[in-house]
């Protein structure tokens, strides 16, 4: 394949992925605890002969910048301030989340809004749904009527660039990554909003679409030139 055609195809694919990531960010602008995704791309030599075989490697990374905390006053709404995550138990193992929109079941289990238990340090604490006020200290300790009943498990990660995002917007450890101690502060009665600025995302989408169109037009011009030469 001609070098110019190859590079225009790579540019179109790159900008298509940019548009998809930005569209996801915009769609999740109101999702509690959502962290915007960044599109990343870099050149890489493939090892094959000739510049036409150079590769453009693309991917995504999580932008862990702090989101704005919104006051709700609800006792089981929790927002994290700083670098770290709540840990959640799922059938597929432990996952991390920044969404602290929690609830308590009739059995006294603290869960996410979709029913997965929130992880505790050591033995999982039981909250009596009828047992009086529940408070959360900044370090994750949980108290009911002033008596400690346990502590939420708060974690950070060694390499944020290796986080894997699942279909529910939660995070898993990538290969070779591991948990580290977290120094986040828990804020009761607040929720962390998505760190998405919709206007900025729209500007990025327009730029990506224009870049795609330019690459597409250049591809067509190169292709038409070869067709004329081959007549």
Q: Is the pLDDT higher at 191 or at 47?
A: 191
138-161 average pLDDT score: 94
Predicted local confidence at residue 27, as pLDDT: 94
Domain range annotation of the chain: 3-65+195-229, 69-192
Predicted local confidence at residue 43, as pLDDT: 55
197-220 average pLDDT score: 83
With 60 as the cut, is the pLDDT of residue 22 above it? Answer: yes
Predicted local confidence at residue 53, as pLDDT: 52
Q: What is the four-CA torsion angle of 112, 117, 121, 122, rounded to 10 degrees?
A: 170
Q: Is the pLDDT higher at 2 or at 92?
A: 92
105-114 average pLDDT score: 95
With 70 as the cut, is the pLDDT of residue 228 above it? Answer: no
The beta-strand segments (E) located in the chain are 37-44, 55-62, 69-71, 78-81, 85-90, 93-97, 102-104, 110-112, 134-136, 141-144, 147-151, 154-157, 164-165, 171-172, 179-181, 185-188, 190-192
Q: Is the pLDDT higher at 2 or at 67?
A: 67
Q: How many CB atoms within 10 Å of residue 103? A: 15
Predicted local confidence at residue 13, as pLDDT: 79
Inter-CA distances, 101 with 118, 148, 187, Å: 11, 21, 12
User: In this predicted model, what pLDDT tens digit does every residue of 26-79 receive, in sequence order?
Assistant: 999 999 999 999 987 655 555 555 555 556 666 778 899 999 999 999 999 999
Mean confidence (pLDDT) of the chain? 86
Predicted local confidence at residue 223, as pLDDT: 66
Contact 64, 168 (CB under 8 A): no
């Amino acid at each position: 394949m001609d070098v110019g055609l190859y590079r225009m195809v790579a540019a179109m694919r790159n900008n298509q992925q940019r548009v998809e990531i930005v569209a996801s960010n915009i769609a999740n602008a109101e999702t509690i605890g959502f962290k915007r995704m960044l599109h990343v791309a870099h050149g890489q030599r493939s090892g094959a002969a000739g510049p036409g075989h150079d590769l453009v490697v693309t991917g995504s990374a999580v932008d862990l910048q702090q989101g704005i905390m919104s006051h709700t006053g609800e006792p089981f709404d929790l927002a994290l301030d700083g670098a770290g995550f709540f840990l959640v138990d799922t059938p597929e193992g432990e996952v991390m989340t920044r969404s602290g929109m929690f609830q308590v079941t009739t059995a006294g289990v603290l869960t996410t809004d979709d029913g997965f238990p929130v992880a505790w340090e050591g033995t999982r604490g039981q909250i009596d749904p009828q047992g009086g006020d529940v408070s959360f200290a900044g370090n994750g300790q949980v108290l009911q009527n002033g008596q400690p009943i346990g502590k939420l498990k708060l974690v950070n990660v060694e390499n944020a660039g290796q986080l894997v995002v699942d279909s529910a917007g939660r995070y898993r450890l990538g290969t070779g990554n591991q948990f580290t101690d977290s120094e986040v502060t828990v804020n009761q009665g607040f929720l962390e909003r998505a760190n998405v600025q919709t206007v900025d995302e729209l500007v990025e989408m327009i730029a990506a679409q224009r870049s795609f169109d330019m690459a597409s037009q250049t591809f067509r011009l190169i292709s038409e030139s070869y067709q004329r030469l081959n007549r």
